[in-house]
Amino acid sequence: MRGGGLSLGPVRASSSRRRFLRLSAGLPVGIAGFFSSRCGSSPGSPAAPAPPATPRPSAASSGEPIATPRVNGAINVQPLRCQGCAPADETIDPGLVELQLSSVYALGFDGIRITAPLGDRNTLLAAIPYVRAARALGVDALVLLADFSGLTLARALHDDRQRAEVLRTYAQIFAPAPAPVRPGLGGLGPGGTGRIAFQVLNEPVGFVGVPPEVYVREILAPCRQDLRDIAPEVIVVAAAEAGNKTGPPRMRAMLEAGLENECDRIAYHVYSREIIPMLSDNVKQIVWVTESGSAGTATHLPWVRDVFPEIRAQIGDVLRIFYFDLFDHDRGVYRVLDIVPDGDAYRAVVESKELHDYWSARVSEAAAGRPVLPFETLVPDVRAYFPTASDVAALDELLGR
């Protein structure tokens, strides 16, 4: 998921347009013999974009508890379900889900991005409580439709005979909005819940060998058309390409293939400061940077504090940046937290202390002395958001189990 120099255009979006957007909240070309044929797309756009992550005023009195102010943008979350279990083990440990989601909530994020891999049934099921509980808290959920390895999902999304069924199952599982945990959460979905978005594949050239123009015309476009019919509330996010110097030329090829007409959000990955001026800011669509971070714990805070504003300043219409990432198994690289056993439970160990403290300070500043409702008050039992029998049945029917 992490990834020279081609400039993609110096023209800036107008300041009035940017204000409007913010306020409105390898395989061979054609993949012959590997994938099947293309199909078209349709217009349409779901709900308005999220506003930038700035403190929202609250009507609460100084003594009335408030939900954590969402002031720190968005973050990538791994669908961790169990520690050290076998792939065939169906366990979803509620303690692991709660640990990550409570950190997302406490650190004031307004969105999560999480992978739901079709090629890994148990991990896909484990993504469900993350998405549902986050949305119930008013946090947007971007579900990445991609496999960690293999071509199962890429092939299915390219196959005219399978695509609609696959997307219908994902929409059946992930699109319905949960009930909000309390009124006044301020999310942009129904009843103040978080919205739902699907990102169609991840870095297509590097991960599944699909050329940019094939991705846009033969995968993204028909997926968006089907989702308009199946679940029009789903925000359709295009795949980003690699966040290094190989990425911008591929993004240019996607744009030339009609990318902006086939999605609701353009996505970039940024792992190199050098590529920021190479990414086009002359686009009509809203941009989400779905991955950005810096390898090495000591570089985390400077990257978020200094480079995130640089991304927003140099790339037009960036309304959201997803930090990479909250937790993974690689010590001292990108993660903010480690998760370790603690008796029969788990605890989070802050590994990126300076960045964690920076985010926490922003939340405290936005709260302005008002007490903040704890996660466990809002979500007393995360198992309420676990997969249901109908979720399991729908997925197993799709997988032919």
pLDDT at 95 over 80: yes
29, part of any domain: no
Q: Are 363 and 69 in contact (CB under 8 A)?
A: yes
Q: What is the DSSP letter of 372?
A: B
Q: Which two tokens stand for residue 98?
A: 């709660």
Q: Is residue 11 part of a domain?
A: no
Higher pLDDT, 29 or 239: 239
Residue numbers of the domain that contains 317: 73-399
- pLDDT number for residue 84: 84
Q: How many domains does the chain have?
A: 1
In a domain? residue 118: yes
CATH assignment at residue 262: 3.20.20.70
Res 299: pLDDT: 98
Residue 39 scores a pLDDT above 70: no
For residue 1, tell me if it sits in a domain: no
Please report which confidence band the pLDDT of residue 87 belongs to, taking 50, 70 and 90 as the band edges: confident
Q: Would you say residue 123 lies in a domain?
A: yes
pTM of the predicted model as reported, rounded to 2 decimal places: 0.87
- Residue 159, burial from CB neighbour count under 10 angstroms (0-12, 13-18, 19+): middle
pLDDT for 80 equals 96
Task: Name the average pLDDT for the chain.
Answer: 88
Of the segments 4-8, 55-59, 250-254, which one has the largest average pLDDT value? 250-254
CA distances from 235 to 144, 175, 196, 260, 265 (A): 12, 10, 6, 14, 8
Confidence (pLDDT) at 282:
81
Q: Does residue 314 have a pLDDT over 70? A: yes
Residue 51 in any domain: the answer is no
**Nearest in space to 297 (alpha carbons), one of 343, 249, 331, 258:** 331
Q: Is residue 274 part of a domain?
A: yes
189 neighbors 196 (Cβ within 8 angstroms): yes
Query: To the nearest whole percent, how much of the chain has pLDDT over 70?
Result: 85
Asked if omega into 325 is within 30° of 0 (cis), the reply is yes
Predicted local distance difference test score (pLDDT) of residue 51: 42
pLDDT value at residue 399: 96
109 neighbors 139 (Cβ within 8 angstroms):
yes
SS3 287: strand
Average of per-residue pLDDT across 310-317: 94
The answer to whether residue 142 scores a pLDDT higher than 80 is yes
pLDDT at 60: 52
| Average pLDDT score over residue span 118-124 | 97
**Residue 93: HSE in the Cβ half-sphere, 13 Å Cα cutoff:** 16
Does residue 62 form part of some domain? no
C-beta separation of 334 from 76 below 8 A: no
